[in-house]
Amino acid sequence: MTAPVAIIMGSQSDWETMRHAAETLTALGVSHEARIVSAHRTPDRLVAFAKGAKAAGFQIIIAGAGGAAHLPGMAAALTELPVFGVPVESKALSGVDSLYSIVQMPGGVPVGTLAIGKPGAINAALLAASVLALHDTALATKLAAWRKAQTDAVAEKPEGAA
């Protein structure tokens, strides 16, 4: 059976960011597949992947890219599946270029855009899990436990304070 979540990225260099999405999904027991699909360097691979993603059994696509980050938007143009975009932090412009490239979609072709970098990758995974949990009570329970553990881990007082 195909994993419900596809994590695609424009380059191997994006993995350092996107692995946080993969690790978060793994922590929640959500199976996923990670692939390099570049809008610019492998456009035919992008078209084939995005057009076939729904039939292949994927339910959600997480797409990370940096710089002129066309991958999430092009994927969204080619599939009806929900696409969550993660702006990867670029060297030249710290990911602001990635963010603007991903977030400013024209009305009618949505990409749910997350924060730049690691927080965005983690949150894309959590959003994907939240959507899947609407029809998966076991996953909903795991997600609630994950959130409770996060809450419980926050100390009331900062270390070193009186």
**Binding site membership for substrate: which residues?**
11, 14, 41
Stretch that binds ligand RP5, among 7-15, 22-30, 50-58, 140-148 (CB under 6 A): 7-15
Stretch that binds ligand RP5, among 8-16, 45-53, 74-82, 119-127 (CB under 6 A): 8-16
Whether the CB-CB separation of 142 and 29 falls below 8 Å is answered with: yes
Give, as ranges, the residues between 79 and 118 that touch ligand RP5 (CB under 6 A): 88
Q: Under the criterion CB under 6 A, does residue 38 sit at the interface with ligand RP5? A: yes
Candidates 4, 5, 8, 10; binder of ligand RP5 (CB under 6 A) is: 10
Whether the CB-CB separation of 9 and 15 falls below 8 Å is answered with: yes
DSSP conformation letters of 104-148: -PPTTS--EE--SSHHHHHHHHHHHHHHHHTT-HHHHHHHHHHHH
Minimal distance, residue 1 CB to ligand RP5, in Å: 29
**Cβ of 40: how many Cβ atoms within 10 Å?**
14
